[in-house]
Amino acid sequence: MSAAARPAPPTAARKSAAQRQRRALLIGLTFLLPNILGVAVFTVFPVVFSLVMAFSDWDLTQHNMFKEGLPKFIGLENFVDLITGDRFFRFFANTLFFMMGIPVAVGGSLCAAILLSKDTSAGGGRPYLWLLAGSVLVVSCVMLTASGLGSTAMMLLLIGTACGILLMGVTGGLTFYRTLFYTPHFVAGVATMILWKKLYAKDTGPVNAAVRPVLEVVGGVTQSAPAVPTVIGWAFTALLILLFGWGLGRLRTMRVEGDLGAAAGALPLVLLFIPACIAAIWDLGGPLMRVVPIGISAVAVVQLVRLATAQERFPVNAPSEGFGSALVFALLAMVGQFILLGFAAVALNLAGFVEASAAAGRETLIEAPGWLTNPDFAKPALMIMGFWAAIGSNNMILYLAALTNVPGELYEAADIDGASPMQRFWNITWPQLAPATFFIFVMSTIGGLQGGFEMARVMTQGGPDGATTTLSYFIYIEGFETGRLGYASAVAWTLFILVFSVTLFNWKFGNKYVND
Amino acid sequence: MSTIDPPDGTSPIVGAAAMLSAEDRRAMRDRQRRAERKRFFGSIPLHLTLTAIGFTLFLPFLWMILTSLKPLDQIGADNWLPTLSANTDAGQFSEAAVDKVRAVVRAGDTPTAAFLQAFVDTEAESVRPTQLADMLNAAIQRGEPLPAEAYEGVTLSQESRAHLAAVEANAARPIPPDLEGPALDDALGERSRAVALFNASVLHDALPELVPAPVTARTHNYLEVFRQIPFARYYTNSLFIACWVTFLQVFTSSLAAFSFARLQWPGRDKVFLLYLSTMMLPGLVMMIPNYQIMITLGLVDTLAGLILPGAFTAFGTFLLRQFMLSIPASLDEAAEIDGASKWRTYWDVILPLARPGLVTLAIFTFMGNYNSFFWPLVMLKGEHNYTLPIGLLYFDSSAGQETNLLMAAVTMSVVPMIIVFVVMQKQLVAGIQLGAVKG
Amino acid sequence: MKLVFLVVSLLLGLASVGIWLTQPDLASDKPVIYWVTDRNPARELQVERFHQWLVHEGHVDEHGKPIVELRLDMANAQVSKIAIQSVSGVASDLIDTYGESMRLLQAMGVLTDLTEDAEAMGFGPNSTYDAMGPDLMVDGRQYRYPANVSVNLMWVNPELLQRYGLDPPPPRWTWADFEQLGVAFKKAANSAGTRPADRKFISSHLMAHVFDLTNGVDPLNETLTGSALNNPAWIESLKTRKRWIYELNILPTPDDVAAAPTEQGFGRSALQLFGREQYAMLPGGRYMLVQLRRYSQIRELDVVEVPHNTFPAAFISTRAVALYKGSKHPELAKLFLAFLASEAYSQTIVEDADALPPNPEFTRGEAFRSPSNYPREHGVHEIFADAAETIAVSMAYSPYVLPSIINRERNNAEQAYFNNRLTAEQAAEQAARLIDRQIQAELYRKPELLAAYARDAARQRVLEELKAEGKPLPETWIKNPVHRAYYQAKGRLTDQTPPEPTPVVLPFDDEHAVSTVNESAS
């Protein structure tokens, strides 16, 4: 945090300490001046202004240059309104839902970074690869022209594009792939949002054009053999319970190894149970809501018994020990469980749905969803888009940089020990990436809590049925559409408190994790 | 990256190898070849994986580019490729001219070449944009090919003759009466398409300056964007704002970061914390106070009003401070011992060393401001000041929803970002390496 | 590094000069007023006519040129943008408003009260349609004057219906007939394999309030003091529309609309699809002719009333020009409002068919009724003009709640029901409850409204009793134009006013808000 203290230059040494301090302050502030002036005017002033307004009844329809009377101080009333109303919590839940995508996106970035940090040069074999890719490209071009741009031409075009990417990748190496991966992120903005809006169009969008044949097959299979999706659904359920067991086992191992303090283990433990609770609370289709809690309780009991009977090999240093690591595991396991839960629910309900739809005499048994017009699909749709943009985001670049910093000797030592790739990753790469992971999670949480405004504004107007309204879009609705700026400020400051405490929390525990 | 040095004769290994027996040499070559083969096959899965991911990520862009080349009526077709189409825009016509065509249509006649020539002759100053193709399709709406007398005296081009042959072939082969459902629709669609292509092609032969020939890829969508909105102006504005903000931000942030990272002064860390915490308040609520500030400064609806608030941020200072912290302290100490002033230390020592950091910040700032959406939307009044994200909405709003033009505009708006990234990407990765991650 | 900085700053400086030099020249030697309006080529002609009119009326300077220059501002027609600009003192002088946006801007206090000037300069409510009057005013004060007036009827493409062996509807018809026709049309016009983009529907998406009006349903109650959505008629309306859209699919779902490739966004896509013969009918006003004239595929055009159950009616609405309070040249801007009431302006509306001219006088002529250039439209124009003077009803706006909030809650409830998140009953209950809560909140914020509210709420109670007993209702108490027209049509109004009830203070269950207000007010 600090630049090294330097010995004072000889001329300054003769001056008194106070004088030196004043001089240092003057110089420091001079350098700061251009920036701090701007920040003070364009950031600090509005921040203070909105803080004051959060405690007032400022309403553009009531208080403006054409009306007499100033906003009144109303104490905490805006905040009380916020907490007693149901909208804030609904939109907060939306925001949290979107934030579940963060671990997945970060994981994707990490995978991409690992792939991109591999040595892709093909040594002496490069000409072969050239030849391969080139010939495929040429053949596909020829076929493309020959087929007279019919509908098969599209497939050829896609193959040609893939080959072109391969060819460019072989010639351009990592630079090319890196640019390609990074492209969705840096062009993200209104332009790509409009693009995805068109991609998601229900009847004319290419997403559904790709999904429809799949759904047709699924519908056909389900109709002829209703047991298949049910079996798959149970498989998902089993996987879910296994994943829960893995997460819990991981925590147990950490505990036994002395890496996890009692206080630090509490929150991760709670997180692991959330999907099961939600499965029990929500009506996710008959058997699921009974089996999942039962299975999970059984696993939990087994693991807890094992934990109680196990010998602690190493003593735990502090109650907060190992929090960061455990939290990351728990988050991953939780999001994984949610995904599996979703798939299981869909698969288990599929047979009934297809049956009903066949009974109703519909042409297509399973209709492709209106991604942005159906409240059940709007959130996942936006998350998929976010994932597309996030894989190659700054996070990937950060991971890439961190990976190049991992000392090669560590891997050499591991190779001598005969470690498997998985072991190499968990024991060397992952701990070495901890600082980057920490930074990324802090920034993603801040971004996630504040995010979603532009997507909602450009793509969905917060709909359908409020499904994509996040807190930041809520601020927009209140502040700009109904003019209640006092209330909007209160929402913003509530959000600020959330962001601030999460960041502080991350900082306090995360730093420990980084230093582990 | 081959581990075995190339046998280029100068290598000492080769010199040693020359002393080896022929058998040994063969064995060595074999080993070398095996290693290369292994390396070659080993890299295939990696390349395939990377290609697969890259391809998936690229698909939306591919769709975007192809859609930008389509005519409007092919949008949403399962085929991503634009296909030959008779529907082409053909400039602007006056109300009077349009009425003339309408009168003929209303009478149930098909416009003849003579009529169309007269139509062209009366074409005066253009008043309202109207699609000629629409009108002509309406004129021949019963889906019949133009009668021979309509193109009397016109030399048919090869394309027209081909289309005519297709039409005649269709006519000679009636649709089986038992055809129904999608198959029937397809057959009917095929026929009407052939007729439309023939008609358009003939009209092109007769009036080449007015009716464009049927085309596949419509590159003029891109020109159409410039015709419909002052796209060049939006482009300039966006680039101008992004460049200015980047320049100012990099400069002022580096100064402030220098102060926070390399200077000692009382209260420094407290001020820095204050800086940091301003990043956590959602920007939306600051808009209204900022708007009032802009009114006070008289900067509403000016590009300066977009540049100034973006130019001074806590984020840039934070980022650069992290970079500067990682530069060894001994360097500026040395400079100071040489009697350099703080300014010289900043300018000659720290700035060059922090270059990767500056580039990183430059890219982030450029991207952020080039894409910035809501502040310009609120701030700008006059159309000549609009930026690209605001301008793009024109094609996706109540004024219009021409997906093909929209995609053309989006494609064009993306290009500068790709250029900036490709030029600077080496610096970017190297830059982040130095710091930023350390708390 | 130095070089980079130097070069960059030099280049940026040059670019700045370039940008500065290419700024459009906005200077003028006379006062300039700006008009925020939609992007429509016809506006330029109207500006030109205004300048001519100024000369004609003698508003000229010493060189015989118009004393003011009117310029168009077409890029700022969004309400939220106008709102921010106007509270900050930088909005344009003349603002195009619709029912909703005028109420918002008026509540913000940024519109000039035009009542006296309108009387003096001839653009008062008397110079337009009778039913239009309430829509120009808030609390009896006039804030705007129509640039055009629109009556919502139904366009029909009779030839398309006949092509499928169906008879076009009569001028006045019922929703039952509509459903029947819709089902028959859908079956006849769409074969099994029709691409989604080519599907044909009987009509474009029906706006909720259009449908509700003909059932005598309005989101607000008779005295505008509360929501009237939680009633069986609206629940029925929700169910009917869901059946039409999602079950029978005779009306397009939002996805169906999105599927069709159109050049125009939002509401206007409907127009294009009607022009392409994918819709047999299209609810809307005469203004649609501006676009319909381009679609020459349609050989015949007809107009009928929107179907009804027992109450034939049509909404009358307007795009009307208001005067910004912060205008630097209010007197000159008022000239433009006077111009809107003149024959010279109405002539442009008559010609380009942009809805009805503000003044009904100018709908009587032959130029309006039978434009020689457009024989297809003969017989259509007078239906609009007549409807504006017979069955037209203006929309209801409450002083206690912004229309945008009503629309928001109504749409939310509708979406929740259409997406199966709530039942129709729950949705209606939710919409009504949330609107009522907003009214409470508004009263809490504006104690000055309390007295009038207390009186009206008490009247509402009496009205409820009278309604339940089936007795005639006092006309003067019913402020909601929809209900007034409905009861009028049903013959349930009386001139006699019952004794004024004691004002209520706590008309709703949410007692806390109002009682607090009451304490602070007293």
The larger pLDDT score, comparing residue A328 to residue C479, is at: C479
The larger pLDDT score, comparing residue C439 to residue A17, is at: C439
Does residue C227 sit in helix, strand or coil?
strand
CB contact under 8 A, B351 and C1: yes
A18-32, A85-99, C190-204, C298-312: lowest mean pLDDT where?
C190-204
Interface size, chain A vs chain C, as Cβ–Cβ contacts under 8 Å:
79
Q: Does pLDDT of B134 surpass 70? A: no
Question: So what's the pLDDT on residue C513?
Answer: 44
Beta-bridged to residue C94, according to DSSP, are C35, C323
Q: Does C412 touch chain A (CB under 8 A)?
A: yes
Q: Does pLDDT of C181 surpass 90? A: yes
Distance of CA B45 to the CA centre of its chain: 31
What DSSP state is assigned to residue B300? T
Residue to test with chain A: of C82, C108, C111, most A Cβ within 10 A: C108
Q: Burial, B143: exposed, middle or buried (Cβ in 10 Å; 0-12, 13-18, 19+)?
A: middle
C113-117, C134-138, C191-195: lowest mean pLDDT where?
C191-195
Tens digits of per-residue pLDDT, A364-407?
A: 677 788 888 888 888 889 999 988 988 888 788 878 877 877 77
The larger pLDDT score, comparing residue A180 to residue B19, is at: A180
Residue B23 corresponds to which tokens in the numbers above?
Answer: 């058998």
Tens digits of per-residue pLDDT, C249-291?
A: 888 887 776 665 544 333 456 777 787 778 899 888 888 887 7
CB contact under 8 A, A203 and C109: no
**What average pLDDT does the structure give for chain B?**
73
Contacts of A116 in chain B (CB under 8 A): 50
Contacts of B72 in chain C (CB under 8 A): 261, 263
Residue A235 corresponds to which tokens in the numbers above?
Answer: 């498989």
User: What's the whole-number mean pLDDT along residues B141-156?
Assistant: 65
Tens digits of per-residue pLDDT, C461-489?
A: 999 999 889 889 998 899 899 999 999 88
Closest residue, chain C, to B237 (C-alpha): C19
User: What's the whole-number mean pLDDT along residues B114-122?
Assistant: 54
Question: So what's the pLDDT on residue A3?
Answer: 42
Question: So what's the pLDDT on residue B92?
Answer: 41
CB contact under 8 A, B264 and A28: yes
Question: So what's the pLDDT on residue B102?
Answer: 53
CB contact under 8 A, A57 and C445: yes
CB contact under 8 A, A480 and C445: no
The larger pLDDT score, comparing residue C397 to residue A318, is at: C397
Give the gap in angstroms from C-alpha A220 to the nearest C-alpha of chain C: 19
Percentages helix, strand, coil for chain A (3-state, rounded to 5) are 75, 0, 25
Closest residue, chain A, to C195 (C-alpha): A203
The amino acid at C380: V
User: What's the whole-number mean pLDDT along residues C130-148?
Assistant: 89
Question: So what's the pLDDT on residue A441?
Answer: 80
The candidate with the shortest Cα–Cα distance to C316, out of C360, C349, C353, C348, is: C360
Which run of H or E residues covers position B344?
Answer: helix B342-344
Q: Does pLDDT of B219 surpass 90? A: no
Q: Does C259 touch chain B (CB under 8 A)?
A: yes
Contact present, C241 and C250 (Cβ < 8 Å): no
The candidate with the shortest Cα–Cα distance to C148, out of C395, C379, C351, is: C351
The candidate with the shortest Cα–Cα distance to A495, out of A92, A99, A137, is: A92
CB contact under 8 A, C325 and A66: yes
User: What's the whole-number mean pLDDT along residues B239-264?
Assistant: 90
Contacts of B295 in chain C (CB under 8 A): 88-90
- Percent of chain B, pLDDT > 90? 4
Contacts of B438 in chain A (CB under 8 A): 435
CB contact under 8 A, A204 and C261: yes
CB contact under 8 A, B313 and A3: no
Question: So what's the pLDDT on residue C334?
Answer: 92
Contact present, B430 and A427 (Cβ < 8 Å): no
Q: Does C11 touch chain A (CB under 8 A)?
A: no
pLDDT band at C323 (very low <50, low <70, confident <90, very high): very high
Question: So what's the pLDDT on residue A65?
Answer: 79
Contacts of C5 in chain B (CB under 8 A): 251
- Percent of chain C, pLDDT > 90? 26
Q: Does pLDDT of A345 surpass 70? A: yes
Question: So what's the pLDDT on residue C42?
Answer: 77
pLDDT band at B7 (very low <50, low <70, confident <90, very high): very low
Interface size, chain A vs chain B, as Cβ–Cβ contacts under 8 Å:
332
Tens digits of per-residue pLDDT, B387-415?
A: 888 888 777 654 445 778 888 888 888 88
A294-298, B78-82, B400-404: lowest mean pLDDT where?
B400-404
Residue A479 corresponds to which tokens in the numbers above?
Answer: 């502040």
Closest residue, chain C, to A60 (C-alpha): C108
What DSSP state is assigned to residue A312? P
CB contact under 8 A, C265 and B130: no
pLDDT band at B439 (very low <50, low <70, confident <90, very high): very low
Identify which of A60, A66, A202 has the shortest CB distance to residue C259: A202
Q: Distances from the Cα of A332 to the Cαs of A21, A239, A250, A272, B388, in angstroms?
A: 50, 14, 12, 9, 38
Contacts of A513 in chain B (CB under 8 A): none
CB contact under 8 A, C265 and B401: yes
Question: So what's the pLDDT on residue A13?
Answer: 52
Identify which of B81, B280, B311 has the shortest CB distance to residue A500: B280
Identify which of B128, B185, B301 has the shortest CB distance to residue C41: B128
Give the gap in angstroms from C-alpha C160 to the nearest C-alpha of chain B: 14
Contacts of B214 in chain A (CB under 8 A): none
Tens digits of per-residue pLDDT, C20-35?
A: 887 777 777 888 999 9
Question: So what's the pLDDT on residue C234?
Answer: 92
Q: In A219-297, at which residue ranges do the beta strands (DSSP E only) sit?
A: none
Tens digits of per-residue pLDDT, A122-141?
A: 454 566 666 676 777 777 66
* Rounded-to-10 torsion of CA C35, C38, C42, C46: -20
Q: Does pLDDT of A288 surpass 80? A: no
CB contact under 8 A, C421 and A482: no
Question: So what's the pLDDT on residue C338?
Answer: 92
Q: Burial, A17: exposed, middle or buried (Cβ in 10 Å; 0-12, 13-18, 19+)?
A: exposed
pTM listed for this prediction: 0.79
Question: So what's the pLDDT on residue A361?
Answer: 67
Question: So what's the pLDDT on residue C520?
Answer: 38
- Percent of chain A, pLDDT > 90? 1
CB contact under 8 A, C258 and A203: yes
The tally of CA atoms less than 13 A away on the side-chain side of residue B383 is: 17
User: What's the whole-number mean pLDDT along residues A2-16?
Assistant: 50
Tens digits of per-residue pLDDT, B52-67?
A: 888 988 888 888 888 8
Pairing of strands C144-151, C153-156: unpaired
**What average pLDDT does the structure give for chain A?**
79
User: Residues 437 to 456 of C: which have CB under 8 A from any A CB?
Assistant: 445-446
Question: So what's the pLDDT on residue C428?
Answer: 94
Give the gap in angstroms from C-alpha A177 to the nearest C-alpha of chain B: 7
Question: So what's the pLDDT on residue B115?
Answer: 58
Question: So what's the pLDDT on residue B209?
Answer: 58
Q: How far apart are the first and last CA of chain B?
A: 36
Query: Helix (H) and strand (E) counts for chain A?
Result: 24, 0
Interface of A with C (CB under 8 A): 57, 59-62, 64-67, 201-204, 363, 370, 373-375, 463-466, 480-483
Closest residue, chain C, to A360 (C-alpha): C247
Contact present, B63 and A201 (Cβ < 8 Å): no
Give the gap in angstroms from C-alpha A88 to the nearest C-alpha of chain B: 16
Tokens 């907490």, residue? A83
Which run of H or E residues covers position C155?
Answer: strand C153-156
- Percent of chain B, pLDDT > 70? 68
Does residue A146 sit in helix, strand or coil?
helix
Cβ neighbours for A46, distance < 8 A, ≥ 6 positions apart: B285, B286, B288, B289, B290, B293
Question: So what's the pLDDT on residue C146?
Answer: 92
CB contact under 8 A, B381 and C89: no
Residue C285 corresponds to which tokens in the numbers above?
Answer: 């006003």
